[in-house]
Amino acid sequence: MLRRLLFLLACLALQAAPTAQAAPDAALVRQLADDDNSRKVEAIRQLTQAADPDSARILKAMADDSLYLAGDKVLIIDGDQAFDATTGKPVKAPESPDSLTINNRIRGELANALAALKLFDPDRALRLESATKLQSKVDPEMAPLLARALEKESDAEIKAMLTLAHAQANLGNPDPLARLAAVKALSETTSPTVRSLLLPLTQKETEADDRVRYKAIAAVKHMEQRLGFAELLGRIFSGLSLGSILLLAALGLAITYGVMGVINMAHGELLMIGAYSAYAMQSFFRAVLPDYLDWYLAAAVPVAFFTAAVVGVVMERTVIRWLYGRTLETLLATWGLSLVLIQAARVLFGAQNVEVANPSWMSGGIELLPNLILPWNRIIIVGFALFVLFLVWVLMNRTRLGMFVRAVTQNRAMAGCVGVPTARIDTLAFALGAGIAGLGGVALSQISNVGPDMGQGYIVDSFMVVVVGGVGQLAGAVWAALGLGIFSKLLEGWSGAVVAKITVLVAIIVFIQKRPQGIFALKGRFVE
């Protein structure tokens, strides 16, 4: 009677105890050390299908080069400790174990396998990371594992990504209906990677089933249309970003050229001064305030403005003031000043380009589509350019200084007769224009290399913006800068940078011949 009672209790205990996880097949683990890489790949895939902690432990050790072969046993060796790879039990460390040979193919398989096994992790962040990695590459053999993960997944974002990964895996399914369902699921995406996966299915040599092939052809055409639209949006945004830089460079030039009629060939070097001001503030924050390094750019804005403004005042007071009304001499003198500023930058900072890093809050971007990411640095530059434009508009239209600048621009002689200090307005206008160019240099430092010659590439474009927009006209400068930026980027996407540049120059020449006063002409009784 007592024996029966003990036997019954033992049975109840076995039924109540959780089922132990079976250890991986020892022969399958031994296959990981096979000399044939194909057999290694087969073993990795079979262990991945198990989706248990022991398989994950073994594959992780193999990826970390901690898997060794000692006789017929596969061991995990961590420092002075050794464990049986199959059971996980400690064993005596062998004297000279053989490390497993792992090439790039095996490492790729291990990376995919470990990513797939993370799909069953309780941590949502790890599952999301794994699903993201599987968007770029997934093998047909992973379809059952992805189906299991898809059944267990409750998070909507991860489930949508797993659905696409499972569809990609089913593109190699022998069943035509499974392939057709996979093509239908993938046809709604806008990913260049998915498009490249569907392209082979559009060929009769690759896909024998007509339904799958026709659906793949329609899906590829639909995806190409959306990819083309995304590329067009990307070019337009790049054009807006370029136009913002041109606007910052041309705003100051529009003021100085409109007030004094001076063609300042050193205006590009004022951009360079602003960029080097950003570099100097970055170096200062790294050395003195490393905890506040992300705010160096905010400190660089006023420093760049006032540094460039001071240089502009010195240029106007010492050289340009004595050459008003003498166009050729002004061109030669300001070109000489540009060379002086370039050499000064080389002496102070060296001839090589310097690094100006984006703050952390300007890193990354907004992913609107799989092939369209708007970088934060360019978004902020566009917003910064609009903010500077607003301040300049307020200054020119709501302040006494702005009224004097507009008066001198329209009729210098009459402005002087009514008491406007034209000489002082010249200096202030030149300082303002130089300071705005310095702000443009700060923005340019976030998307371009900073070097002594960086301003040379923008002086011609700045003059084109001023001439096309209309001398002294802020609205004209805005339309011309954004128009030239977008037009240039659209042409570059279709014909290349060189042909685009030539086309833009020809278009500007034709425009100036038809409308020499620019988009917006000055209005006034005495405008010449």
93, 98, 59: which is closest to 78 by C-alpha?
A: 93
134: pLDDT strictly greater than 90: no
Write the single-letter amino acid at 312: G
The rounded mean pLDDT for the chain is 83
Q: Would you kindly state where each structural domain of the chain is located, as residue ranges?
A: 21-106, 121-208, 234-455
Reported as a single tens digit per residue, the pLDDT across 297-306 is 999 999 999 9
- C-alpha to C-alpha distance for 207 and 229, rounded to whole angstroms: 28
Which residues are paired to 75 by β-bridges? 68, 84
- C-alpha to C-alpha distance for 453 and 441, rounded to whole angstroms: 12
Q: Are 338 and 268 in contact (CB under 8 A)?
A: yes
Residue matched to tokens 């200090």: 421
Which residues are paired to 83 by β-bridges? 76, 90
| Residue 390: per-residue pLDDT | 92
Task: Order the strands of the 90-91 sheet from edge to edge.
Answer: 90-91, 81-84, 73-78, 67-70, 98-99
Q: Are 472 and 259 in contact (CB under 8 A)?
A: yes
Residue matched to tokens 């990354």: 364
| DSSP output for 294-331 | GGHHHHHHHHHHHHHHHHHHHHHHHTGGGGTT-HHHHH
* pTM, entire model: 0.71
| Residue 118: per-residue pLDDT | 81
20: pLDDT strictly greater than 50: no
Reported as a single tens digit per residue, the pLDDT across 28-60 is 888 888 888 888 888 888 888 877 788 888 888
272, 269, 267, 266: which is closest to 335 by C-alpha?
A: 266
pLDDT bracket for residue 526 (50, 70, 90): very low
303, 294, 443: which is closest to 382 by C-alpha?
A: 443
Residue matched to tokens 């086309």: 503
Report the pLDDT averaged over residues 193-213.
Answer: 84
Report the pLDDT averaged over residues 462-484.
Answer: 81
469, 493, 451: which is closest to 246 by C-alpha?
A: 469
pLDDT bracket for residue 522 (50, 70, 90): low
- C-alpha to C-alpha distance for 26 and 22, rounded to whole angstroms: 11
- C-alpha to C-alpha distance for 160 and 151, rounded to whole angstroms: 12
Which of the 8 DSSP states describes residue 172?
A: G
Reported as a single tens digit per residue, the pLDDT across 373-431 is 889 989 999 999 999 999 989 988 889 988 888 888 778 888 888 888 988 888 898 89
Reported as a single tens digit per residue, the pLDDT across 256-291 is 777 777 788 898 999 999 999 999 999 999 999 998
CA 432 to chain centroid, in Å, comes to 33
| Residue 174: per-residue pLDDT | 84
Given CA atoms 227, 228, 232, 234 in this order, what sign does their dihedral have?
A: positive
Percent of the chain with pLDDT over 90: 17
| Sheet strands (E) in 226-312 | none
| Residue 136: per-residue pLDDT | 67
- C-alpha to C-alpha distance for 336 and 321, rounded to whole angstroms: 15
Reported as a single tens digit per residue, the pLDDT across 415-456 is 888 888 988 888 898 899 899 999 999 999 988 889 999 888
310: pLDDT strictly greater than 80: yes
Give the pair of three-digit tokens for residue 118. Answer: 């993370």
